[in-house]
Amino acid sequence: MKHLLTIPATVCSAILVTGAWAQSQPEVNNGTNPTILATSAGIQYKYSDFGSGFSNGLFEASFTVPFGPGNNNALTFTLPYASGPVDDSFGLGDLNVKFIHVLAVNATRGIAYTAKLSFDSADRPDLGSGQTVLELSGFYAKFLKDGSIVAPSLVQTFGLGDEDAGRSKINMTTFDFYYVPKLATEKMFVAFDPALIYDWQRDKGYASLTTTFGFPLGKAFGGDSQIFIKPQILAGAHRPADWSLQVGYKVIGF
C-alpha cells in the first residue's frame, strides 16, 4: 500500500516540475507582432516577374536594432543588391533606413508609426528609383482573444523632389490590411498582407496580396532563427508587376 501511494506522488512532482519548466521558457519571437521590437538580422532574395519576358532579382541584407525605454524604438538598415529587367547583371540598389516608434501597447492593442528614407544610391538607373524617397506609415494592431493579430496601416510614399531627368516623382498611398492567424502548431506561422495601392502621379490604382509562410528553426546565434517564403500576386490593369517570390533567413532577438 505504501508503494501505491508513492508512485502517484512521484508522478505529480514530475508534472509540476515539467509545467514550471515549460512556463519559464521564453516564447519564440517569430517577428509577426509588429509592436515587439527586437534585434534582428536577415538575408533574403526576391524574384519579380513584370510580364512580357521582363523580370529582376533582388538580394537584401537587413539589420534591426531597438533602443529607448522598453525598446519602443528601432532602426532597420537595408542593403540591396539587385539586377535590372533589361540588364541582368547585379549592382548596388537604393540603400534605406527605417525608424519605428511604438507609441502605446497593452494586452489588446498597439499603436505605432514608421518613417523610412531610401537614398538614391543605385549603381545604375534601372536598379533604383532615381530619387530620394520618404515613406511614412501608421498602424493600429489589435490582438484578438484567440491569439491572432489584425494590424491595418496607412502608408504614404513620396519622392523628395530630386528625381533624375526622365523619372517621374513618386507619390503613392497604400492601405495595408495585415492579418496573422493563430495556428494550432508552432512549427510554422502564416501572415496575410492584402493591400490597395494608388499612384497619384499616374492616377492609377492596383491591388496586391502577399502571404508569408514561416518556419522556425530553433535557436541560432543567440536568437530565434527562421526561414520564410513570401509569394506575392498583383491585380489590376495598371499593376507594375504580375507576381513575385521572396525567400529568406532571419535571426531575431540575439
Establish if 63 belongs to a structural domain.
Answer: yes
Reported as a pLDDT band with limits 50, 70 and 90, residue 13 is very low
Amino acid, single-letter form, for residue 33: N
Establish if 137 belongs to a structural domain.
Answer: yes
Q: Once rounded to an integer, what is the mean pLDDT over residues 192-207?
A: 97
Establish if 12 belongs to a structural domain.
Answer: no
How many whole angstroms separate alpha carbon 28 and alpha carbon 179? Answer: 19
Secondary structure (DSSP) of 105-117? E-SSEEEEEEEEE
For position 17, what pLDDT does the model report?
39
Task: Give pLDDT tens digits for 120-170.
Answer: 999 998 899 999 999 999 999 999 999 999 999 999 999 998 888 888 999
Residue 125 belongs to what domain range? Answer: 29-252
Number of folded domains in the chain?
A: 1
Establish if 16 belongs to a structural domain.
Answer: no
Establish if 21 belongs to a structural domain.
Answer: no
* Mean pLDDT, all residues of the chain: 90
Establish if 22 belongs to a structural domain.
Answer: no
CB within 8 A of 62, min separation 6: which ones?
40, 41, 42, 43, 44, 76, 77, 78, 79
How many whole angstroms separate alpha carbon 115 and alpha carbon 133? Answer: 11
Establish if 90 belongs to a structural domain.
Answer: yes
Establish if 8 belongs to a structural domain.
Answer: no
Provide the whole-model pTM.
0.86
CATH number of the domain at 202, please. Answer: 2.40.160.40
Contact between 33 and 141 under an 8 Å Cβ cutoff? The reply is: yes
**Chain CA centroid to CA 217, Å:** 18
Task: Give pLDDT tens digits for 14-57.
Answer: 434 334 333 444 567 899 999 999 999 999 999 999 998 899 99
